[in-house]
Amino acid sequence: MQLERVLHSQGFGSRKACRIMVRQGEVTVNGDACDDPFAEFDTENLNFSVNGEPWRYREKAYLMLHKPANYECSHRTQHHPTIYSLLPYPLVARDVQCIGRLDEDTTGLILLSDDGQFIHRMSSPKWKVPKVYEVTAKHAVDEKQISDLVKGVQLVDEPAPIAALACKQISDHVIHLTLAEGKYHQVKRMVAAISNRVEGLKRIRIGELSLPDDLAVGQWRWLDEAALVLLNQQPKNERVSA
């Protein structure tokens, strides 16, 4: 692939802008300077840098982000900064999209991609990819409340009760709630339905992929092959416990 096409596909601007960057000496390929925008390269294992910033060619982008509180999962925000401001410009320019939004006050694991099939696989109700939330409740959670969450609670404007896949008690006020749906404010509404209130909410797992302990709040990283394998695995059976 021509170098200007490589840069364009990775979000570094229009082909004309990428051509100018190359001719101005802003690009190195596999450690060597290249000022020919039409030079051909094999994209497999292709590493390049733009103004000293290293990149690797990726046909599709697959990312995880540790979302902070007070950020919105939208390009057009109303009251808070967007999570896309936490990403490098080329990733935003190639139009990566978050998969399953989190409320502005909710933290934790978010996946992003520009692969339409992957986005559908992770977000479609058909696939029922489980998400695990760490819920900090205002009042102590008892066994009956946990039982009710798993059996199903009735929410306003829902025709039938909504049940969690699993609910595990971590401490008096903390539970891990596993859901397959992504309805509006679902966790908060379900907890309210058991006469309690969510004081803190964090998504800690999607499918079999957990939020890494070493991924700091506000940071992102590429999903490696091992992470993608985990996301494509059939979820393990959750054990409901109190």
Question: What is the tens place of the pLDDT at every residue in 197-218?
Answer: 999 999 999 999 999 999 999 9
Split at pLDDT 50, 70, 90, the class of 77 is: confident
DSSP string for residues in 120-174:
HHHH-TTT---EEEEEEESS---HHHHHHHHH-B--TT-SS-B--SEEEE-SSSE
Strands 62-67 and 166-169: unpaired
Does 120 score more than 90 pLDDT?
Answer: yes
Q: What is the DSSP letter of 239?
A: P
Please, which pLDDT band fits residue 237 given cuts at 50, 70 and 90? low
Mean pLDDT confidence for 110-121: 96
Catalytic residues: 103
65: pLDDT strictly greater than 70: yes
pLDDT band at 242 (very low <50, low <70, confident <90, very high): very low
Share of the chain above pLDDT 70, in %: 96
Asked whether the predicted pLDDT for residue 146 surpasses 60, the reply is yes
pLDDT, position 236: 64
Structure tokens at 85: 């401001």
| Token pair 């992957």 in the structure block, residue | 118
The residue that leads in pLDDT, 35 or 238, is 35
At the topology level of CATH, where does 131-206 sit? Alpha-Beta Plaits (3.30.70)
- More reliable by pLDDT, 236 or 14: 14
Fold type of domain 62-126+213-231? Alpha-Beta Plaits (3.30.70)
**pLDDT value at position 241?**
46
Partners of 131 in the β-ladder: 179, 206
Q: Is the pLDDT of residue 240 over 80?
A: no
Tell me the C-alpha distance between 1 and 168, whole Å: 51
Give yes or no for residue 69 having a pLDDT over 50: yes
| Average pLDDT estimate for 140-144 | 96
Domain positions in the chain: 3-56, 62-126+213-231, 131-206
Query: Is the pLDDT assigned to residue 194 strictly greater than 50?
Result: yes
- CATH architecture of the domain formed by 3-56: Roll (3.10)
Instruction: Assign 180 to helix, strand or coil.
Output: coil
Contact 97, 119 (CB under 8 A): yes
pLDDT average, residue stretch 219-237: 87
Percent residues over pLDDT 90 in the chain: 86
CB within 8 A of 184, min separation 6: which ones? none
Q: Dig out the tokens for 223 from the structure.
A: 């999903």
With 70 as the cut, is the pLDDT of residue 228 above it?
yes
3-56 and 62-126+213-231 in the same fold: no
> What pLDDT, on the 0 to 100 scale, is given for residue 63?
98
Token pair 């909710």 in the structure block, residue: 106
> Please, what's the b/e burial string for 136-153 (b: 16 or more CB within 10 A of its CB; e: otherwise)?
bbeeebeeebbebbbeeb
